[in-house]
Structure 1
Amino acid sequence: MRVPPTLSAVLGNLFRKPATNPFPESEPVPVPEGFRGKLVYHVDKCVGCRLCVTVCPAGVFEYIPEVRKVTLWLGRCVFCKQCVDVCPVSALEMSDEFLLATYDKYDDNLRWFREKEIEKMIEEKKKAQKK
């Protein structure tokens, strides 16, 4: 009787070491060069051109016209790096950070500006314009 190829593969793998990294029990593996991890936004460099809003396939960016900046929600990001490539002033970059797992998709770690921060930025801009 002939052994099915799937069964022979399963039996062969029973006696091999795991090929995956046992991450919680050990350190994570080092990331390769060019890895696309968590998106980093340099607010001070942003000029409000909205190119990132235009090219983002996942709808990560939301434009705030009062302060000419964007806010981003990383819970939607697919890490395609199109926003980084199109940004004319390098206000966006990809980091090596990949430990973003959370049970709350609205976690502060995944949101760039919260409502209070946006309101504070608007007030600061209005004060600066009055001077």
Structure 2
Amino acid sequence: MARLTPLSRERCLDLLASVPVGRVVFTMRALPAIRPVNHLVDGDTIVIRSNLGTGLASSATADGAVVVAYEADVIDLERRTGWTVVVTGAARLVLDEERLNRYEGQLQPWVDDTMNCVIGIDCDLVTGYELGRAG
């Protein structure tokens, strides 16, 4: 039997930074939408790249008017162990030239599509759990 153990905020952000891919959850036409994306963690911000024509990028603004969730995990199906982290926060376009250039250099898109904007997601609410063997 397995046990779920809550993780600290610091441990959650460390785990999130240890993997290159997660899923962003946002609202598109009043319905939940989920997209897999590659990311990086910069302090208390998750950084992703997107296309200004997509649902998330067209909703995100410089003042952080759109709230999203971001989730990443690693699960070992054979051992039934792993972890999951969920971050909820405001998503906004990164407009600062210095940060924009740095993020564009560090975060290369995995898909063959135009990624003409960078989105920062504030880590306002951070929760996570480790799935481990009991005893």
Do Structure 1 and Structure 2 share a fold, with TM-score over 0.5?
Answer: no
TM-score (norm 2): 0.25
TM-score (norm 1): 0.25
Structure number with higher helix proportion: 1
**Which structure has the bigger radius of gyration?**
1
Structure number with higher strand proportion: 2
